[in-house]
Chains A and B, each alone.
Chain A
Amino acid sequence: MSEVPMIALDRVEKRFGAFHALKGVSLSVARGEKVVICGPSGSGKSTVIRCVNRLERHDAGRIAVDGRELTDDPKQIEAVRREIGMVAQQFNLFPHLTVMQNLTLAPVRVRGMKPAEAEALALHFLERVHIPEQAAKYPGQLSGGQQQRVAIARALAMRPKAMLFDEPTSALDPEMIKEVLDVMVSLAEEGMTMIVVTHEMGFARRVADRIVFMDAGQIVEESPPAEFFSAPKSERAQLFLSRILGH
């Protein structure tokens, strides 16, 4: 087991104008670990993972991915983004490209793969997410659940060392949530390092090594799922859980 954590945040701060989104967040994710971040809206959970792949620029503190520090240097930023895959709430598939083209774009352009190789790779991952037959379709022709699975496959096609999920099922109709979560579970079982921001507590209980509870820009509580769900230490976590699990 390597000493260097896969993803390390050290006293990270972030402001949006007057709003103090992250107030000194420190988090360490080891290789192969699965961390679920939960908390009320506005707590900064999305901001945290968006800082990890530099979609937001942190104002203070340090972020390192696989030992490589995230600075203003464009080369460092690109290197980090190559190694981290991200799946967002809105899928963000490229509507003017087919599913296959969506998947092969980055491997060809960024990793310099030959198109034939990239297509074989893409097909492999489409099978992995159980929709190889959709390869020639456009995103607009797929259901929400299918689109999100394509988004996951697209991120995986870059062979990332870690995957970030920002509320991946929040925009889906209820009957499609399970198909996406199943893919994420199998990914977890294969040993992928994952940080998942989600409200799906069933998934968290099954998959997470650690649950991180955030509120108002700070990490309030961090514990293994069994502990967290049965005996949350802080009052805010208790309040949150009672609301989330109540229905």
Chain B
Amino acid sequence: MTAKLRLLIPQLLVLGGVIALGADLVHNTLANLARQGIATGFGYLDRQASFGIGEGLIAYSPADTYGRALLVGLLNTIEVAILGCVLATILGVAVGIARLASNWLVRTLAGAYVEAVRNVPLLLQLFLWWNVFRIVPPPPRGAWRILPGFFLSNRGLTIPLPSLAGGWHWDVPHLAGFNFVGGHTMSPEFAALLVGLVIYTAAFIGEIVRAGIAGVPRGQSEAAMSLGLKPWPILALVILPQARRIIIPPLIGEYLALTKNSSLAVAIGFPDLMSITNTTLNQTGQAIEAIALMMAVYLGLSLTTSLALNLYNARIAARER
């Protein structure tokens, strides 16, 4: 009995301390909120937002609620995260393989890219890209035509989109007056965020891929070479399937990092979850609810991704026995 008590007492003391601290914080908070006349509770989500949002995946107007505004922001965050992860993976795998190429120039250039990008803060790179996309291209009237239907102007990147309205056809943008009509325009903010995140994260993914490939025992590639297989089939059929197991866990970590880094959108004016939460709490003053909600969402995204990783790992472990 005494041994158990000895273990129990410090735990209860710590728990008690944490609870006491929590109670004190709550008490102070309620007092301060009352003093400043700030409401509590999530009722504000149903109030009218009264601010505009530049771009989003669903329809929104300032007459909509804060709740809907936050949903727009969340969808923007998810859009950037998914596109970013896909593109960063493609670029990252290419960079990782390039780092192990037999061609010295390719290897060195890939290495220079990784070092340059990893040692400079992401926010700085985002600011750079944002200025580039905003300032460098000409106005829509003189926009650069990259490909038929693809235009780069200081309003952003305008691309054609497939459209179902009135039969299956391509909605190709064309110049009407001072701006483009049709197609879809990605704002400079969106382009800067996406390009910046992809280039930054791809450098880290490149290192992960390189370490994974290098982690496959040399005997494997030697055996494949002895059988007469050529370099690319060796990479695809023998090396990468084995490297995959080493690569996946840290790769998922990078996806998480990219998703969290997308919150830097608030610094360049892209309306993601963080930005809209910022606007909301500035207007309603209900900082606690707004921030708590936002943290809960990011936490949810993180935990979901971790869960997916654990499931994948379990499946791989079961299959390879």
Contact = CB atoms under 8 A, between A and B. Distances in A.
Direct contact of A and B (CB under 8 A): yes
A118 interface: no
Interface string A146-159: 00000100110010
B321 to A, nearest CB: 7
A224 interface: no
A90 interface: yes
Given A140-B320, A140-B321, A106 B220 contact: no
Nearest to A54: B225
B233 interface: yes
Interface in B215-267: 217, 219-220, 222-230, 233, 237-238, 241-242
A138 B230 contact: no
Contact of B223 (A92, A138, A140): A92
Contact of B228 (A82, A93, A94, A140): A82
Interface in A93-126: 93-96, 105-106, 109-110
Q: Majority SS of interface residues in chain B?
A: helix
A96 B227 contact: no
A106 B226 CA distance: 10
Contact of B227 (A90, A106, A140): A106
Contacts of B321: 138, 140-141
A129 interface: no
A78 B227 contact: no
A55 B225 contact: yes
Interface residues of B, number: 19
B226 A109 contact: no
A44 interface: no
A94 B224 CA distance: 9
Interface in B179-236: 217, 219-220, 222-230, 233
Contact of A88 (B219, B230, B241, B320): B219
Interface in B19-46: none
A132 B319 CA distance: 22
Given A109-B237, A140-B320, A140-B321, A95 B242 contact: yes
Contact of B241 (A82, A90, A96): A96
Given A95-B320, A96-B241, A140-B321, A88 B227 contact: no
A110 B222 contact: no
A84 interface: yes
B320 A110 contact: no
A240 B108 CA distance: 47
B234 to A, nearest CB: 10
A8 interface: no
A81 B233 contact: no
Contact of A86 (B220, B226, B233, B320): B226
B226 A53 contact: yes
B320 A138 contact: yes
Nearest to A154: B227
B224 to A, nearest CB: 8
B220 A109 contact: no
Contacts of A95: 242, 320
A109 B238 CA distance: 12
A158 B228 CA distance: 9
A78 B217 CA distance: 22
Nearest to A103: B227
Contact of B222 (A92, A105, A155): A92
B222 A88 contact: yes
Nearest to B237: A105
A82 B230 CA distance: 11
Contacts of B220: 92, 94
A217 interface: no
A39 interface: no
Interface string A43-75: 000000000011100000000000000000000
Interface string B255-294: 0000000000000000000000000000000000000000
A85 interface: yes
Contact of A81 (B225, B237, B320): B225
Given A55-B222, A90-B217, 10 more contacts: A53-B226, A84-B226, A85-B226, A92-B220, A94-B223, A94-B238, A94-B242, A95-B242, A105-B229, A109-B237
Interface of A: 53-55, 78, 81-82, 84-86, 88, 90, 92-96, 105-106, 109-110, 138, 140-141, 151, 154-155, 158
- Across the A-B interface, give the 10 residue pairs with the lowest CB-CB distance, nearest first: A92-B223, A106-B227, A86-B226, A92-B219, A82-B228, A81-B228, A110-B228, A96-B241, A90-B219, A55-B222
